[in-house]
Structure 1
Amino acid sequence: MADPGLGRTSVGSVWGADASVLRSSADHDGEPLPRAEVRETHTAIVFFAGDRAFKLKKPLDLGFLDYTTVAARRAACEREVALNRRFAPDVYLGLGEIRSPDAEEAEPLVVMRRMPANRRLSRLVREGASVDDVLRAVARHLAAWHAEAPRGRDVDEQGTRDALSSRWEASFAQVRTLADDGFVPEGVAEVERLVRCYLAGRERLFDSRIAQGRVVDGHGDLLAEDIFCLDDGPRVLDCLEFDDNLRYVDGLDDAAFLAMDLEQFGAPEAAAYFLAQYSEHSGDPAPPSLWHHYVAYRAFVRAKVSLIQARQGAPGAEAAARRLVSTALRHLRTSAVGLTLVGGLPGSGKSTLSGALADRLGVTLLSSDRLRKELAGIPAEQSAAADYGEGLYTPEWTSRTYATLLDHASALLSSGESVVLDATWSDTAQREAALHVAERTSADLVALHCHVPGEVSAARLNARVPGTSDADLEIATTMAAREQPWPEAVAVDTSGPLESAVAQALAAVRPWGTGQAPVFRRPYMEPD
């Protein structure tokens, strides 16, 4: 049916009486051909007839694409076939044409094998079918393409922090333009604020992604509606063809599109599973915040598309835009990079709370007690007990410990890793240094000050076995007399059950709640 290459197909072979699309049921392996259908997107109309699908581009100008001329539509169709053959070569058959009696030029269209509607990933998810095997196969397929995908300076340029920022800003402007009629989804202003804050301190992260070769010529539009789960493997269709720069993306950004879409179908567990599988097959060490940021970006892009569809009169499009902006906001809140100081006197339970909080949030924990001994070259569990202000606890050693602690934190924050810092934080100068790190890395700073009644602290210290901390009751008493006020810290009572203290801490660190979006966990990352 199609010539080699793009395989332009004549009008007769597509629509003539002898065409395969019009074969009788008896000639189709004994199975009746599916009924003809029509589907519409914001940029195209797709006709389904027999075992073929024919895709026409709409003659419109949306700003980010212009299909107002036949030549432009033809170029887009040719590009779509060439690019999609990278993912599904047996589906994209070539370029076809259709001509009406009064047309000066034939209208180009993309000719494809018709995929079985009952094998769409979106339909399987809606029906509650098990899709783990499919998602694993798609993740492997996508990771394999990313491993071999074209790279280069022009591709890398689209992976910079500034390039991503420009795409976000363009989407903000387009949404506000589309909303001239008065409908601006609630949450857009907060989305803008959170995006700008995240990107402001993360140049190091995006530079490292480029250095790792993570920016590729990808798919760019990975939706569950366009993935078909066939017996011999998935077919991934309909990649983005109208702007190469929008297809030059971080591989994680590419994968995040499908994760976002799965969430919209009410399958957040499937979304998390797919991202985990992609991470495994691609060997991607990305921090959790970047996963969430890219899911948010994809949700906001789809919100923009929904607003376009709303202007075209599509039913339910405004409601979809609201849901998608809400999804973007949830993930941006979860992706916010945070520096949490957990302080308090010896025996206050700060280390126990720090560990539980870091585990609950899935973030990195750094301890001044451990780091101090690491700097001294001794095991963390080896005692270095000394009188107050002596040995490893002189002002010089303490200053060095806190400076190194904040250096490590700064590197992690710049790389997109949130951090919990376990230390006494009894000195105002140390707290101010932490504030400067948070400001420099555009991280949200939350300070927690652990406290317990004196008798509880004394009982804990008297029962403490030798370990990472060397402080005893006498040292704790001396430190209490010298501790400087910390009015900006949130007081946390740690005298009761640990879960009670964790709940107090979480209320301060994540005031919007911890169930906003899935928590992606990664092992501890040593700063470069």
Structure 2
Amino acid sequence: MIPPDQREAAALLARLSGAEPVETHVSAVFVGRDTAWKMKKAVALDFLDFTTLAAREHFCRRELELNRPHAPELYRDVVPLTRGPDGALREGGDGPAVEWALRMAPVPAGDFLDAVAAREGLAPPLLDAMADAVAAMHACAPRAETDPPAVTSSILEGNIPSARQAGLDSARVEAWAAAARVELARVAPVLAARGAAGFVRRCHGDLHLGNLCLLEGRPTPFDALEFDEALARIDVGYDLAFLLMDLDLRLGRGAANRVLNRYVARTGDTGLLAGLPLWLSLRAMIRTHVEATRGRDWQALFAAAEAHLVPAPARLVAVGGLQGTGKSTLARAIAPHLGRAPGALVLRTDEIRKRRFGVAPEERLPPEAYAEGVSAAVHGEMFAMAASALAAGQAVALDAVFLDPAHRGQAEAVARAAGLRFDGIWLEAPLEVLRARLAARTGDASDATEAVLLRAAAVDPGPMAWHRVAADEGAVIASLSALA
């Protein structure tokens, strides 16, 4: 409900847009054909106070400042509503402001990514583009100086009274809190180290699917948290965790796994994995009591908050084979089934190589990028990232050719050093099938050509102790069976 003192302003915005407002508890948005107007409500809640005109102007401008760099097509300007000579309220003008509004471009209702997800429109390319957008946003976010363990503890403890006030079972809430405190104590040194290393930044703060939309076909974050700097000055991993949690519940583990792996492929940030179970749990718990307060279904969210704190054994799986055997397809298919949420980290040499050269995975590299020394560094980085992820408790799937027995031995050694289970899968297919697949390949991180394939096919891989799997339609089932 719009507060009485703002109803005249709301009536003006309704006339300008030709639409009735879409309301949340803190704002009213009037979506017209060419323009959308957003007015902040004069309300005071536990976490914000918009009751003064000065505060509403400040937070309108802050919202514009935070969001325009990532969504310049969406955020236009902040406009005063003033009285004209006739005393009527108007847009703009030189008199004192009676109210303030954000002027924005309208977004079709079907272009918000929660709506796209609801119609099963988040295909893998769109998930990849979503992760790319988040990685780009985090890359340019300014560093923030905080005490990450203390901030995380404050968030954790703040959830307890909120959950109880929402009517959740007190004993169940306390059991969740006890488990979360244990997990926080375990990862506190890692969180502090990440803060010192610059991974705490001024993030989006409210990064769920409803706060991303398609602009010119590109996933674009918007509506960053503007009213609480403490809740937005967080680890980039905690920011990402909201999106992963939302994807996991809405679409399943495969979608969340895809976005996590694309994000790490672009950033190289395996360090976020240590905090991921706690961050996912906190995000799910926050959403649990918010949905309970709104009278909506919260049971699955609460179950997820609890499940994220239950340990799951990590393991290392390596997928090898000649170019075109479908190593990446298989690794992505089995990853959601391995270890804790949202599944295994997939480390692909092709993607690591592209990141080392500062290009997107789909951008081709020149031949010198495949020199022996470069390839040795790429494999070294892959094994180091695998060791880091396993130490954090995340399962790992390695995706490389693995023709060299030494590379296969290194993969097994990483698992042994961590005291974890190792499985190797070797994909096989007739050469003519592989040649046809390479010829048809588009938009992939691999730069392999038929000439590369033929040179590799002439190499003797040596004794092969890995699970040999036919690279056909049954490869995923056969591989999961071998890994059981």
Q: Provide the TM-score with structure 2 as the length reference.
A: 0.57
1:170 and 2:179 aligned: no
Letter in 2 for 1:121: L
Could you say which residue in structure 2 is the equivalent of 1:227? 212
8 Å CA contact retained: 1:187, 1:329: no
Instruction: Note the alpha carbon deviations across 1:84-134, whole angstroms, 9 max, x for none.
Output: 112212211111344697999612222210112222211121111243222
Alignment counterpart, residue 306 of structure 1, candidates 291, 305, 309: 291
Select which of 183, 187, 191 maps to 1:206. Answer: 191
Whether 1:138 and 2:130 are equivalent positions in the alignment is yes
Aligned residue number for residue 202 of structure 2: 217
AA partner of residue 118 (structure 1): G
Matched, 1:43 2:35: no
For 1:314-329, list aligned pairs within 5 A: 316-317=295-296, 319-320=297-298, 322-329=299-306
Aligned to 2:40: 57
- CA distance in 1: counterparts of 2:255 and 2:208, whole angstroms: 14
**How big is the shift at 1:272?**
1.6
Partner of 2:121: 129
Q: Does 1:94 align with 2:82?
A: no
Inter-CA distance 92–332: structure 2 relative to 1 (3 Å threshold): same
Find the residue that maps to 1:115 and give its secondary structure: coil
Gap change, CA 1:147 and 1:84, over 3 Å in 2: same
Instruction: Please give the secondary structure, in 1, of the residue aligned with 2:36.
Output: strand
Instruction: State the alpha-carbon separation in 2 of the partners of residues 108 and 82 from structure 1.
Output: 15
Equivalent residue for 2:58, pick from 75, 81, 84? 75
Which residue does 2:318 correspond to in 1? none
Equivalent residue runs for 1:400-411 within 5 Å: none
Rounded Cα–Cα distance in structure 2 between residues aligned with 1:418 and 1:285: 10
Amino acid at match of 1:290: G
Q: CA deviation at 1:240?
A: 0.4
1:277 to 1:302, Cα distance in 2 relative to 1, 3 A = same
* C-alpha distance in structure 2 between counterparts of 1:92 and 1:145, whole Å: 16
Q: Which stretch of structure 1 is more off in the superposition, 84-93 or 258-267?
A: 258-267
CA distance in 2, matches of 1:200, 1:209: 15
Map of 1:257 onto structure 2: 242
Change (3 A) 1:298 1:254: same
- The alpha carbon displacement at 1:283 in A equals 0.7
SS in 1 for 2:207: coil
Structure 1: tracts of 5 or more residues without a match: 1-10, 23-35, 311-315, 338-358, 364-410, 420-498, 504-528
Q: Residue 270 of structure 1 aligns with which residue? A: 255
Give CA-to-partner distance per residue, 1:198-255, whole Å, 9 cap, x none. Answer: 1112222112212332111111111211212244522221000001121111111111
1:457-498 per-position Cα deviation (integer Å, ceiling 9, x unaligned): xxxxxxxxxxxxxxxxxxxxxxxxxxxxxxxxxxxxxxxxxx
User: SS in structure 1 opposite 2:270?
Assistant: coil
Q: Residue 361 and residue 298 in structure 1: after superposition, are their counterparts in 2 closer, same or farther (change >3 A)?
A: closer
Q: What is the letter of the counterpart of residue 153 of structure 2?
A: S
Q: Secondary structure at the match of 2:79?
A: strand
SS at match of 2:44: coil
2:212·2:222 contact (CA, 8 Å) conserved in 1? yes
Please tell me the residue identity of whatever aligns with 2:129: A
Rounded Cα–Cα distance in structure 2 between residues aligned with 1:41 and 1:336: 42
Letter in 2 for 1:83: L
Amino acid in the other structure paired with 1:106: V
More contact order relative to length (CA 8 Å, sep ≥ 6): 1
Paired residue for 1:119, among 102, 106, 111?
111
> Are the counterparts in 2 of residues 74 and 108 from structure 1 also a CA contact under 8 Å?
yes
Q: Which has the larger radius of gyration?
A: 1
Change over 3 Å in CA distance of 1:204–1:183 after alignment to 2: closer
Q: Does 1:291 align with 2:268?
A: no
Number of aligned residues: 315
Counterpart residue identity of residue 261, structure 1: D
Match of 2:141? 149
Question: In the alignment, which of 303, 321, 330 is matched to residue 307 of structure 2?
Answer: 330
User: Could you tell me the percent identity over the aligned residues?
Assistant: 31
Q: Using the alignment, how far apart are the partners of 1:228 and 1:87 within structure 2? A: 12
Q: 1:412 to 1:218 in 2, by over 3 A?
A: closer
Deviation at 1:67, TM superposition (A): 1.6
Q: CA deviation at 1:305?
A: 2.6
Question: Letter of the aligned partner of 2:281 in structure 1?
Answer: A
Aligned: 1:161 with 2:149? yes
Q: Does the 8 A contact of 2:37 with 2:102 survive in 1? A: yes
